Amino acid sequence: MKKIIIVLFLFTVICFINKGEEEYIIPDNAIRLRVIASSNTFEDQATKMEIKNNIENILKNDIANPHNKEQVSLAINQKIPEIKTMINNYNLPYQINYGKNYFPEKSYKGVKYESGMYDSLVVTLGKGEGENWWCVLFPPLCLMEAQETNMKDVDYEWFVKDIFKKYM
């Protein structure tokens, strides 16, 4: 009986160690969004989140049900002046870059996203030395995730798979 318990324990430990994070390759046709705070002070992080929420609100109607990457790209380009006007209200220096930008490797809710150059809208606030917030605008992962208020961590992996399959 002790041998069976030991074997089951070792099997459980091995399964737990090997589980790890599942890696997803963001589709080539993806567009990401990244907002980088000036610093990690509470005020700068709060400002980053306000601006992030405002950007999502500016974009959401135009990219909520996209047909393709080109439609989302056009919407983003058309909304950049509105995004700039909104950020100007915060009276802080910033940079907006819509194009190819580097993203470091990220892990979120058990899903690992590879580092690399991605088509993206990057908003850098002030010195850009603080923590950032990021998401995937196309496929519309960040907007659809925001609608899923009771999403469990385990469900997130399936959610990502489904979204990427739908738009690839």
Any residues with CB less than 8 A from the CB of 64 and at least 6 apart, and which? 140, 143
What average pLDDT does this structure show over 56-77? Answer: 90
* The predicted structure's pLDDT at residue 24: 57
Report whether pLDDT(3) > 50: yes
> How many residues make up the chain in this entry?
168
Report whether pLDDT(131) > 50: yes
* The predicted structure's pLDDT at residue 105: 85
Contact 38, 99 (CB under 8 A): no
Long-range contacts of 164-167 (CB under 8 A, 24+ apart): 164/24, 164/26, 164/27, 164/139, 166/139, 167/27, 167/29, 167/66, 167/138, 167/139, 167/140
How far does CA 106 lie from the centroid of its chain? 9
d(CA 96, CA 14): 46
pTM attached to this predicted model: 0.74
Rg (CA), the chain: 19
- The half-sphere exposure of 50 on its side-chain side, counting CA atoms within 13 A, is 11
Give the closest residue to 80 by CA, choosing from 59, 102, 101.
59
Which of residues 107 and 135 earns the better pLDDT score?
135
Report whether pLDDT(55) > 60: yes
Which of residues 87 and 151 earns the better pLDDT score?
87
d(CA 82, CA 88): 10
